[in-house]
């Protein structure tokens, strides 16, 4: 992975010209979730005809991931697009430090400076015991198989890149090796053994988180980290040319790091995985030279699954980090994997009745890859740096939204029409993931229009966006109330964050316009948002930077509450306080000093200092973000 490029000249210029009031990070960090707001001077008059918007000086321009007006955010030596949520999260860490101990902030900074480059800023891996450094171990056979079942049925959602019977055979070989006191990877190789260990790491972390004991989050992380370290150590010793398993193990390691909120290390390992995928040619159909060699059907299907999983992650991580995608559709001609279950595959080809494959587990990845293609098109067409008229932008949003809806209509019943709550776990988790993918895509395509004027020109786009946000909040509320395992899903947290911001901004816009139609709907939506805000705060209380989602949202929430009904402004969610012991903290409460951290707006005169939200210029967002400094 090449080093992070230096700041752009625009950044350097602004650093020197910015004066002493704001640091570089204070000046340029802006949220992905609020990137749908027009740039400075771009909000048109409500009396302006729609077809004249693109002709006006300073008229609406596409919010751009490369816009020189926004510059770039430099965070601890790394460059983030200002539309990235992580840039905004970094500002939240400064807000957090304002309410906490400066000693803790200094310690965190010192720790990051002494970490290896590719993991600087992440929570360190748990310290190994001296014995563990010498010889990897495994859980007892029954627990190990329970963990593998949990991995395939719940943890991976749509990212089914591994052949389940093969992994079970690898695990049995490793257990035999430990009994015979030989190297744990003997007979299968280091890479396959590393895959087993990182699978166990993910499953163990989910297993501990599912117990719903926030006070034991550190225990969940420690137990997962033990297996993850074994996996990393084996990969560091990998020899020979790259093979399919070389890419697979790194993809699964990325999933573990994302789950445990270690975003920096996940980014670099993902880059390594992409290089291996390209070196193996997984993005292209086999040419005539490779067709001369007989192909193992299982290996071929796992190759396709691995590539398309990487493709999906590439699109979503590009959105979260605000960084360019690595894969470009123009250079990809690879086919999607067959819709077939692991038990119906052999090295020679499919087995069993080909007409009896309803409810195939691979369907989830198949359809996730399709929606990822649309997400890529949304990013390219709606967030382009090219000048686009407002009419063209609305037409693009309409076309993309229709593509998203067509995709949703094409889902098989167990992934679309059937409510996830009545499905078995192995089907429920993918169905929830694709439901969130659908709603996120709708928001991603239409959120740019939330604060545009005249509002009558954007009714369809705003309606689609707020309905998608409501769907997310309803799903999350049901998920969080039904199972504490919601706490372990990194992408669900991000989509919840986006849906809450969309909701709060829409409420503010409704108030600005003096809308009087169906106030009960807005009240119910805000109550739902309050509930999900609390779920997010509790789910991410021990995760950094994920825990900052709730803190950032408090600014939006306060602004929406100030312009909503009085009874809502007095409603507060709770978030867990760090405690010792094994108490059941399923419904934790905050102490007074902790409430100040998660309710900074309520503790200040922010209500009188809030921007009026009439123009929604870039500086208004910066003022809102820094208002609790």
Point out which residues pair with 437 in neighbouring strands. none
Render pLDDT for 125-162 as a digit per residue (tens, 0 to 9): 887 666 555 667 899 999 999 999 999 998 988 999 99
CA angle 320, 323, 327 (to 5 degrees): 100
Q: What are phi and psi of 347, to 5 degrees?
A: -65, -25
Q: How confident is the model at residue 216 (pLDDT cuts 50, 70, 90)?
A: low
620 or 110, greater pLDDT: 110
Q: Which two tokens stand for residue 469?
A: 């946000």
Point out which residues pair with 350 in neighbouring strands. 345
Q: How confident is the model at residue 481 (pLDDT cuts 50, 70, 90)?
A: confident
Q: How confident is the model at residue 124 (pLDDT cuts 50, 70, 90)?
A: confident
pLDDT the model gives residue 555: 72
Average pLDDT value for residue range 282-288: 76
Q: Which residue is it, tokens 């595959």?
A: 345
327 or 537, greater pLDDT: 327
164 CB neighbour count, 10 Å cutoff:
17
Q: Are 585 and 217 in contact (CB under 8 A)?
A: no
**Res. 466: pLDDT tops 80:** yes
Q: What are phi and psi of 100, to 5 degrees?
A: -120, -160
Render pLDDT for 249-271 as a digit per residue (tens, 0 to 9): 999 999 999 998 888 899 999 99
Burial class (CB in 10 A: 0-12, 13-18, 19+), 268: middle
**Res. 474: pLDDT tops 50:** yes
Q: How far apart are CA 303 and CA 296, in angstroms?
A: 10
pLDDT the model gives residue 29: 33
pLDDT the model gives residue 357: 65
**Res. 174: pLDDT tops 70:** yes
Q: How far is CA 303 from CA 37, 153, 333, 352, 594, in A?
A: 41, 21, 14, 22, 48
**Res. 193: pLDDT tops 50:** yes
Most confident of 10-14, 69-73, 308-312: 308-312
Q: Which two tokens stand for residue 11?
A: 């950044």
What is the Cα Rg of the chain in Å?
25
Q: How far is CA 297 from CA 304, 338, 356, 467, in A?
A: 11, 10, 19, 43
pLDDT the model gives residue 600: 38
596 CB neighbour count, 10 Å cutoff:
15
373 or 566, greater pLDDT: 373
Render pLDDT for 47-91 as a digit per residue (tens, 0 to 9): 344 444 444 433 444 443 333 334 455 555 555 555 454 444 454
Q: Residues 6 or more apart from 76 whose CB is under 8 A from it?
A: 112, 120, 121
222 or 620, greater pLDDT: 222
**Res. 219: pLDDT tops 60:** yes
**Res. 369: pLDDT tops 60:** yes
278 or 581, greater pLDDT: 278
pLDDT the model gives residue 603: 36
State the sign of the Cα–Cα–Cα–Cα dihedral 135, 243, 344, 349: negative
Q: How confident is the model at residue 479 (pLDDT cuts 50, 70, 90)?
A: confident
Q: How confident is the model at residue 27 (pLDDT cuts 50, 70, 90)?
A: very low
Q: Which two tokens stand for residue 445?
A: 């395509």
Query: What is the distance between the terminal CA atoms of the chain, rounded to a whole angstrom?
Result: 36
Q: Are 204 and 480 in contact (CB under 8 A)?
A: no
Q: What are phi and psi of 286, to 5 degrees?
A: -65, 135
Q: How far is CA 428 from CA 164, 308, 361, 379, 583, in A?
A: 19, 21, 11, 28, 29
495 CB neighbour count, 10 Å cutoff:
24
Q: How confident is the model at residue 464 (pLDDT cuts 50, 70, 90)?
A: very high
Q: Which region among 11-15, 173-177, 195-199 has the lowest average model confidence (pLDDT)?
A: 11-15
Render pLDDT for 601-619 as a digit per residue (tens, 0 to 9): 333 443 333 444 444 433 3
**Res. 344: pLDDT tops 50:** yes
Q: How confident is the model at residue 311 (pLDDT cuts 50, 70, 90)?
A: very high
pLDDT the model gives residue 93: 45
pLDDT the model gives residue 338: 93
419 or 199, greater pLDDT: 199
Q: Which region among 135-139, 170-174, 503-507 has the lowest average model confidence (pLDDT)?
A: 135-139
Q: How far apart are CA 582 and CA 488, in angstroms?
A: 19
Render pLDDT for 518-538 as a digit per residue (tens, 0 to 9): 778 888 999 999 999 888 888
Q: How far is CA 111 from CA 220, 262, 536, 552, in A?
A: 22, 14, 27, 24
**Largest separation between any pair of C-alpha atoms in the chain:** 81
Q: Residues 6 or more apart from 214 whose CB is under 8 A from it?
A: 538, 541, 542, 576, 579, 585, 588
**% the chain with pLDDT above 90:** 39
pLDDT the model gives residue 542: 64
Q: Residues 6 or more apart from 526 whose CB is under 8 A from it?
A: 503, 507, 560, 561, 564, 565, 568
Q: How far apart are CA 324 and CA 322, in angstroms?
A: 7
Q: How confident is the model at residue 290 (pLDDT cuts 50, 70, 90)?
A: low
Name the DSSP letter for residue 38. Answer: P
pLDDT the model gives residue 382: 85
Q: What are phi and psi of 78, to 5 degrees?
A: -115, 145
Query: Buried b / exposed e across 468-488, counting CB within 10 Å, b at 16+?
Result: bbbbbbbbbbebbeeebbbbb
96 or 322, greater pLDDT: 322
Q: How far is CA 494 from CA 52, 132, 385, 568, in A?
A: 36, 35, 25, 24
Task: Tell me the Ramachandran region of residue 82: left when phi exceeds 0, alpha when psi lies from -120 to 50, beta otherwise.
Answer: alpha
Q: How confident is the model at residue 213 (pLDDT cuts 50, 70, 90)?
A: low
Q: Are 162 and 302 in contact (CB under 8 A)?
A: yes
Q: How far apart are CA 609 and CA 495, in angstroms?
A: 29
Q: How far apart are CA 321 and CA 264, in angstroms?
A: 10
580 or 314, greater pLDDT: 314
Point out which residues pair with 73 in neighbouring strands. 80
**Res. 399: pLDDT tops 70:** yes
Name the DSSP letter for residue 437. Answer: H
């Amino acid at each position: 992975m090449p080093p992070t490029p230096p700041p752009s000249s625009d950044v350097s210029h602004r650093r020197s010209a910015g004066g002493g009031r704001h640091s570089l990070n204070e000046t340029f960090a802006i949220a992905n979730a609020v990137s749908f707001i027009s740039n400075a001077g771009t909000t048109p008059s409500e009396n302006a005809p729609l077809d004249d918007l693109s002709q006006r000086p300073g008229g609406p321009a596409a919010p751009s991931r490369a816009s020189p007006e926004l510059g770039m955010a430099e965070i601890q030596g790394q460059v983030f697009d200002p539309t990235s949520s992580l840039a905004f999260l970094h500002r939240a860490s400064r807000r957090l430090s304002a309410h906490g101990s400066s000693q803790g902030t200094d310690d965190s900074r010192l720790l990051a400076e002494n970490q290896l480059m590719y993991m600087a800023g992440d929570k360190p891996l748990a310290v190994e015991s001296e014995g563990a450094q010498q010889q990897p171990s495994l859980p007892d056979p029954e627990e190990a198989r329970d963990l593998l079942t949990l991995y395939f049925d719940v943890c991976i959602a749509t990212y089914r890149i591994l052949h389940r019977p093969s992994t079970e055979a690898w695990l049995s070989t490793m257990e035999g090796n430990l009994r015979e006191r030989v190297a744990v990877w003997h007979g299968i190789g280091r890479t396959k053994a590393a895959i087993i260990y990182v699978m166990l790491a993910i499953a163990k972390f989910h297993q501990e988180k599912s117990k719903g004991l926030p006070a034991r989050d550190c225990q969940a992380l420690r137990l997962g980290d033990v297996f993850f370290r074994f996996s990393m150590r084996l990969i560091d010793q990998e020899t020979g040319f790259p093979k399919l398993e070389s890419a697979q193990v790194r993809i699964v390691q990325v999933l573990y790091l994302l789950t445990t909120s270690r975003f920096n290390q996940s980014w670099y390992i993902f880059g390594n995985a992409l290089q291996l995928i390209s070196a193996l040619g997984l993005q292209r159909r086999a040419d005539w030279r490779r067709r001369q060699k007989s192909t193992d059907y299982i290996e071929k299907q796992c190759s396709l699954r691995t590539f398309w999983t990487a493709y999906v992650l590439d699109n979503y991580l590009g959105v979260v980090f605000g960084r360019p995608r690595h894969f470009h559709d123009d250079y990809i001609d690879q086919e999607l994997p067959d819709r077939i279950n692991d038990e119906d595959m052999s090295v020679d080809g499919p087995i069993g009745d080909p007409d009896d494959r309803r409810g195939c587990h691979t369907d989830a990845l198949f359809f996730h890859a399709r929606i990822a293609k649309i997400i890529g098109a949304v990013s390219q067409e709606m967030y382009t740096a090219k000048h686009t008229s407002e009419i063209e932008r609305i037409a693009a949003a309409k076309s993309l939204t229709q593509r998203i809806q067509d995709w949703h209509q094409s889902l098989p019943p167990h992934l679309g029409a059937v409510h996830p709550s009545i499905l078995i776990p192995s089907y429920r988790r993918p169905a929830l993931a694709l439901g969130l993918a659908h709603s996120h895509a709708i928001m991603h395509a239409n959120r740019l229009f939330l604060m545009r004027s005249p509002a009558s020109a954007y009714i369809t786009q705003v309606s689609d966006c707020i309905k998608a946000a409501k769907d997310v909040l309803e799903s999350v509320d049901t998920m969080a109330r039904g199972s504490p395992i919601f706490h372990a899903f990194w992408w669900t947290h991000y989509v919840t964050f986006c849906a809450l911001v969309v909701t709060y901004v829409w409420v503010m816009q409704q108030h600005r316009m003096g809308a009087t139609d169906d106030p009960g709907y807005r009240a119910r939506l805000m109550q739902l948002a309050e509930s999900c805000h609390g779920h997010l705060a509790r789910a991410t209380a021990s995760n950094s930077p994920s825990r900052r989602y709730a803190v950032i949202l408090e600014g939006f929430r306060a602004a929406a509450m100030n312009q909503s009904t009085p009874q809502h402004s007095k409603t507060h969610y709770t978030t867990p306080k760090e405690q010792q012991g094994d108490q059941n903290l399923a419904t934790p409460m905050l102490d007074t000093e902790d409430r100040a951290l998660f309710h900074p707006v309520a503790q200040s005169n922010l209500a009188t200092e809030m921007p009026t939200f009439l123009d929604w210029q870039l500086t208004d967002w910066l003022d809102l973000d820094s208002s609790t400094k």
